[in-house]
Amino acid sequence: TSLRLDGEEKRQSFFQGCVERMLLYWRDHQALASIDIVVLDRERPRILKNIALGLELQPLWPLVKPLVIAFAPYMERRGHWDAWHSVLEQAIRMAQRAGDIESETTLTAFLARVCQRMSRYDEVVRYYRRVIRLAKVTGNRFEEARACSNLGYYYIDGGRWWRSEVLSCHALVIFKELESDHGRAHTHNHLGVLYTRERQFHLADNHLRIACEIWIRIHDQHSLLRGYLNRSLLYIDMEKPREAQRILTESLLLAENTGDNAEIGTIQNNIGLAFISTSQYPEALEHLRIAEKIFLTSQNSRMRARVYQNIGLVHLHQHQWGKALSALEFALTEIQLTNDTEAEIKIRFDLAEYALQQNNTPFALIQLMEINRLSALINTETTQTYYLKQLTEFNDRVAIH
């Protein structure tokens, strides 16, 4: 028995030593430091296998931790969210067993962000709140501010705009005190999106420009891509489609250079939307079909809804009524899986337009009644006024019909 035990201990020690050497190899690999997409695409299965083995061996936590943190940006950008969600959950449990609150804070922030990409909204709020709580325990003001900024950004789609602004402004104060360009840029970007939704276009443009200027200065192409995408939507809302198309062309080049697959679908959708704004419907549909292919198999219900809404709009303008209704109803089903009140309002306006074009007054009235109910949930006067004005115009058209 003693010999068998001794042999088992040696085998276990040998196995742990092999895993340790592989973790050290990948932790220090230049491809991770530079996020070399070509190398990491090829080596991803092996890296994940080594991380999985390391997560089974508690003594190796000091080596597993930096590898997971370094690998996170690649996994998120390439859209491998399911696999990464599982890894992060395991890593957090290991950090908790090790009493490593600092790492638990960082990894929980990663998990919240992945859940946001996967449209797992209840988890997003729960994890960001946990990050804020943990960051306050350790005095980690950077992670506290980042979680506040990201949670504020998340609240935009839920129509909780006052809370979003409070969290974002709190984060911005901390990032300025910490002299964090990274944090300041992301929070200016979030405020730019918020003010776009509130139709305070001058404020939105100012915040988005500041964010992009910082990212250009610090050579952060991945984040700059996000800023360009948000500016393109601002210009579309401002009825400046040519400016939107110009910045989207730059965005597509950036996405291809950085290997950011998760954003290419969003860019194609926004290009399609810009073409709709200039009544170039065949061109719009060409780009929207590319976006459709990307998002059809993803877990991003919000983006899938946006793409199908825009496809529905194209068919509506081309008087392809059956295709228009099918796309818009699918968009409505998808957006109802999220908490995006404003997006649902926009889809219902398009369905009301379809109904009016078909002289289907009862169906139009159903949409308008739902819009009236949903608009009461929006908590900013500017946006409520905007939608109520549209609602009144539609009601007048229904009366004429």
pLDDT, tens only, 26-67 = 888 888 777 888 888 899 999 999 999 999 999 999 999 999
**In Å, what is the CA distance from 159 to each residue of 32, 62, 113, 121, 232?**
38, 41, 19, 14, 21
Is 134 in contact with 126 (CB distance < 8 Å)?
A: no
Q: Which CATH number fits domain 18-28+41-139: 3.40.50.12280, 1.25.40.10, 3.40.50.80, 3.40.50.1970?
A: 1.25.40.10
Amino acid letter, residue 26: W
Q: What is the CATH number of domain 262-333?
A: 1.25.40.10
Query: Within 13 Å and on the Cβ side, how many CA atoms surround 253?
Result: 6
Residue 16: pLDDT above 90? Answer: no
Q: Kindly report, residue by residue over 300-321, the tens digit of the pLDDT.
A: 888 999 999 999 999 999 999 9
Q: Kindly report, residue by residue over 153-186, the tens digit of the pLDDT.
A: 999 877 788 999 999 999 999 999 999 999 999 9
Residue 3: pLDDT above 50? Answer: no
> What's the average model confidence in pLDDT over 75-92?
91
Burial 322-351 (b: 16+ CB within 10 A, else e): eebbebbebbbebbeebbbbbbbbbbbbbb
pLDDT (0 to 100) of residue 63: 93
* Domain parsing of the chain, residue ranges: 18-28+41-139, 262-333, 339-401
